[in-house]
A = this chain, B = another copy of it.
Amino acid sequence: MSLSDLFGGDPVVSGQQVRVEPTQQRSTARLSGLLDAAAVVVDEVGFDRITTAMVAERAGASIGTVYRYYPDRVAVLQALRERAVLRFRQRVVEQLKTSGTETWWDAVDCAITAFVDLYRSEPGFRIVHFADRERAPISGSEDLESGYFAHQLAGVLAEEFGLHGGPDLIFRLEVAVEMADSILSRAFHSDPHGDERFIAECRRVMRDYLVGYYGPVAASV
């Protein structure tokens, strides 16, 4: 169970994301082009002022092309969100490899950093956010992005740093992810670069919360 396995792959949440999987080369470019356009437009006009026509025009495509790939307006934004989350995971993996990761806190800290970077660099992410509660299926915990991510992170922390795994760890991590997401969302609400006070407080809260259960960082079990 490598890091790439844990953090790669499709999110569980995705209903049928695209109507037709593109096979030709140009269409793959179209698809990502549509999402790029959607990202820019959603940043400019907001979540519910965005129209399919805007996205199409910005991407240099026609309306029909948008609907070839996405069943409706919101599906486009959902896809945008999912792509961003995928990039988040990749960034976490990247940072876990490069920076020396010795304790479980280093890993969590990496995730927070990646999250912040994502908010800063990914257009539209401020709007679509990390988890979409609205149209997630109302069943198990893993159907939520936070739950899914918590699940994965629990795997890493248990395997790589010997934290005691199991449902308790997953539960606490899900709580942690929810908290981090909300504080960081707040940090970026009024400040495109992220209010450092909230970001710092987020790290502190995460650390205190998890240390409370899993002991000081230095002597992780």
Contacts and interface: CB of A to CB of B under 8 A. Distances in A.
A133 B189 contact: yes
A212 B152 CA distance: 30
A212 B127 CA distance: 32
A90 to B, nearest CB: 25
Contacts of A135: 46
A67 interface: no
Interface string A32-53: 0000000000000011100000
Q: How many copies does the complex hold?
A: 2
A127 B208 CA distance: 31
Contacts of A197: 171
Contacts of A181: 182
Given A175-B198, A175-B205, A205-B209, A190 B140 contact: yes
Interface in A136-150: 136, 138-141, 144, 146
Contact of A178 (B46, B127, B175, B186): B186
A134 interface: yes
Nearest to A46: B134
Contacts of A48: 48, 74, 134
B139 A190 contact: yes
B179 A133 contact: no
A82 interface: no
A79 interface: no
Interface string A179-221: 1011101100110000001100100010011001000000000
A178 B183 contact: yes
Interface of A: 46-48, 74, 127, 133-136, 138-141, 144, 146, 171-172, 174-175, 178-179, 181-183, 185-186, 189-190, 197-198, 201, 205, 208-209, 212
Which are the 3 A-B pairs with shortest beta-carbon distances? A182-B182, A178-B182, A179-B179
Given A133-B185, A208-B212, 12 more contacts: A48-B48, A133-B189, A136-B189, A138-B189, A139-B190, A171-B197, A171-B201, A178-B186, A179-B179, A179-B205, A182-B182, A208-B208
